[in-house]
Amino acid sequence: MLHTQTLEKLQALRLDGMAQALTEQRQQKDMADYGFEDRLGFLVEREWLWKANRSLTRRLKAAQFKITASLEDLDYRASRGLKRAQIEQLRATPWVQEHRNCLIVGATGAGKTYLGCALGNQACRDGYATFYFYAPKFFRALETARVDGSLVTWLKKLARAPLIIIDDLGIGSVPGKIYREFLEVLDDRQGQGATIITSQFPVDQWHEVIADPTVADAILDRLVHNAYRIKLEGESMRKSKDCS
């Protein structure tokens, strides 16, 4: 009876991991060999893991990554130009916390989306809220928000995000006024969050992509300074797996 009441109270307190672990302990005969503090420690550890896993699941769901990707599964063939040391530096260095950017360029199918999503996945695992956007949809959403009056609210949401990913910059035509809105996004995030940009175009061609020289200068100034740069090379990897 006491066990049932304890479980009910743990569940009422939303300590589901601890409740589950307590039930498991009662079913394990060797648990009688452990002292009170050890058994309590096991319960607390399970609750911590339970909450950490639930938080990670929420972050991954909110991120809306285009594909499931991880740094552990990256292909480091020499022909790709992807350096393991650079990726390990990104994994080990708190670059998101330091509000630095990462610019990934390469031809279609080189693996830009996979790498961007893998870095985003790692950020989620490290506890950072992340949002992924396919560039054409991102700019359409910016324009819609400007028209329907929700732009300020949306800009505040983006400004608070520790990491945002804009995938395939330059893939479609974007009106100059929308790039000015994008500049506002980057300006609000300056010193507040990190940004990953992937593009088929080398960084030195982004002026042509953005078209308006003044806006292009301002955007590049906010993106390039202190940014990690990764250039992917080689044939399309879509022959072996789905990535871009």
17, 39, 62: which is the final residue of a domain? 62
Same domain, 51 and 95: no
Count the domains in the chain. Answer: 2
Cα distances from 218 to residues 26, 39, 187, 210, in angstroms, run: 63, 58, 9, 11
Model-level pTM? 0.81
Tokens of 101: 């950017």
Q: Is residue 229 included in any domain, yes or no?
A: yes
Q: Is residue 244 included in any domain, yes or no?
A: no
What is the span of the domain harbouring residue 48? 2-62
* Upper half-sphere CA count for residue 7 (Cβ side, 13 Å): 12
What is the pLDDT tens value at each position of the chain, 244 positions in all? 566 777 776 677 677 776 777 777 777 777 777 777 777 777 777 777 777 778 899 999 999 999 999 999 998 876 778 888 989 989 887 899 999 999 999 998 889 999 999 999 999 999 999 999 999 999 999 889 888 989 889 888 899 999 999 999 988 888 878 888 899 999 999 889 999 999 999 999 998 888 788 999 999 999 998 899 999 987 666 555 544 4
Same domain, 49 and 89: no
d(CA 201, CA 209): 8
Same domain, 97 and 189: yes
Same domain, 75 and 13: no
Q: Phi/psi at 103 (nearest 5 deg)?
A: -110, 120
